[in-house]
Amino acid sequence: MSVDATNRVRQDWESQANSWYQERDALLTASRPIHEWLVRKLEPRDGQRVLEIAAGPGDTGFLAAKQLGSGRLVSTDLASSMVDAARRRGAELGVENADYRTLDAQAMDCADASFDGVICRWGFMLMPDPAAALRECRRVLVPGGRLVFAVFTGPDENAFASLPARVLIDAGHLQRPAPGAWQPGILALGDRARVQSLVDGIGFSSTHLEPVDMTWRFADADAYWKFLVDLTALGPLVRSLAAEARDAVRSAIDARLIQYAGADGIALPSRCWCGVAIR
């Protein structure tokens, strides 16, 4: 596991935490099918302890916390500013059975068998060493405990990410992933066989994986551009471009978005692999 790579990921998400908090309601609305699948498969019960990793503003964990009763949610993220965003979100939702911690999921300072459940929505594909994080998830789960997770499927089902990535690759700003090599990214775990192999290699007693659909909706191209720059893993790269290059990328993206535009704005279908793994 590369410390430098992990620090780069941390810095990227530190820079975007405030935007995730500001857009929390829109993000929850778009991704609610994913949240609901994860919480349903987690099967949270009164008195349990649940860990959420890569929690962002924490909404999946907060939905689970409602069912924990006297139990506790531990909401964590690699970026401390994301942890602050989750703490603010929890306070405004009136969540009283949650604790908040900055935590690297690839090397957790948590005791063995200390949680009944673990949640990770949209985290593993962005980690330099997802296998290490999965091993840690298994380690901190009690026997019979559940890990639930979501990662995005491939480019054909997720134009919200593949469309700008292709523009950036064509313009020479983003390297095309080498076949078979691990490069963290929004669609890095899009191949079902790769996800299944990764999870199966950790030694869970049973696993289940299925596609779950959602839709990203935007009022117009300006709203999508703001989402791309402020909220996605491509945002730091786009923000780093010189003004002329950034404008050219914007123009190319706008042209490709036309096919997704309708009377109600822009609708970009999206799909996730949602999984449950039992310790």
Can you tell me the mean pLDDT for 223-235?
96
Domains of the chain: 3-154+182-217+270-278 (3.40.50.150)
The token duo for 275 is 């999984």
Can you tell me the mean pLDDT for 223-231?
97
% of the chain exceeding 70 in pLDDT? 100
Q: What pLDDT is attached to residue 179?
A: 80
Least confident of 24-28, 45-49, 109-113: 24-28
At 236, the amino acid letter reads P
| Distance from C-alpha of 230 to C-alpha of 15, rounded to nearest angstrom | 9
- Whether the predicted pLDDT of 1 surpasses 70: no
Sheet strands (E) in the chain: 49-52, 72-77, 98-102, 115-121, 141-152, 206-218, 261-262, 265-278
- Whether the predicted pLDDT of 33 surpasses 70: yes
Give 203-223 as a DSSP string: T-SEEEEEEEEEEEEESSHHH
Can you tell me the mean pLDDT for 182-210?
95
The token duo for 229 is 């720059």
- pTM, two decimals, is 0.95
Q: What pLDDT is attached to residue 180?
A: 78
Check: CB of residue 24 under 8 Å from CB of residue 89. Answer: yes
